[in-house]
């Protein structure tokens, strides 16, 4: 058992090191693009349809029994996954994501659960991810490096903005900003 735990720890350390080395710094031109999208995210987060969807999701709570492991088993075309893309907020973020400079757009509730998306994201709940944690701090945020997007695998900079209701953070909208 101890040998398995040691092997697992070594594998996790290798993955962490590989991820750290695969991240690239942001050029000044890319930083200008990121800053532009942080402003857009703040505008999108203030859209009444987005605010209403997050408020409704916060009131309802997560899908019964849904975990990130179960979410992995849900196919992209499954009605459960499609509902997040086709609901009112999902249709709106899908329209915004037609902008070829971004490769996904996702809305989360106050607990990090999925509310709406332009594509089925990798995780149903991303409450432990920097893109969510930093967005919940009340200001637009962006990563300081380029890395493959967890969902699309496209080289991106992750960015987020809080969804606010009367000045209170109630959720997050986040994006993968395409670097190529």
Q: What is the pLDDT of residue 70?
A: 97
Scan for tokens 């402003």, then name that residue. Answer: 39
Which pLDDT tens digit goes with each residue over 78-135?
999 999 999 999 999 999 999 889 999 999 999 999 999 999 999 999 999 999 999 9
In the chain, what are the domains?
Answer: 29-178 (3.30.450.20)
Taking only Cα atoms into account, the Rg of the chain, rounded to an integer number of angstroms, comes to 17
In the chain, where does DSSP find H-type helix?
A: 2-22, 28-45, 48-60, 68-73, 79-86, 88-96, 130-135
Q: What is the pTM of this model?
A: 0.85
How many helices, marked H, and strands, marked E, lie in the chain? 7, 7
Give yes or no for a contact between 74 and 65, defined as CB atoms under 8 angstroms apart.
no
> How many CB atoms are closer than 10 A to CB 133?
15
In 46-173, where does DSSP find H-type helix?
A: 48-60, 68-73, 79-86, 88-96, 130-135
């Amino acid at each position: 058992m101890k040998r398995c735990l040691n092997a697992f720890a070594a594998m996790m350390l290798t993955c962490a090191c590989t991820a750290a080395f695969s991240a690239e710094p942001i050029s000044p031109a890319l930083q200008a693009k990121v800053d532009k999208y942080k402003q857009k995210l703040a505008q999108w987060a203030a859209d009444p349809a987005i605010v209403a969807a997050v408020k409704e999701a916060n009131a309802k709570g997560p899908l019964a029994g849904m975990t990130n492991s179960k979410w992995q088993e849900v196919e992209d075309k499954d009605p459960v996954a499609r509902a997040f893309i086709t609901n009112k907020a999902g249709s709106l973020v899908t329209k915004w994501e037609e902008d070829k400079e971004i490769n996904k757009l996702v809305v989360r509730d106050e607990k990090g659960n999925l509310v709406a998306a332009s594509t089925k994201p990798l995780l149903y709940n991303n409450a432990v991810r920097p893109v969510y944690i930093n967005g919940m701090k009340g200001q637009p945020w962006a990563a300081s490096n380029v890395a493959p997007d967890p969902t699309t695998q496209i080289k991106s900079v992750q960015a987020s903005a809080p969804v606010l209701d009367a000045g209170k953070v109630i959720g997050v909208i986040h994006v993968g900003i395409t670097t190529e």
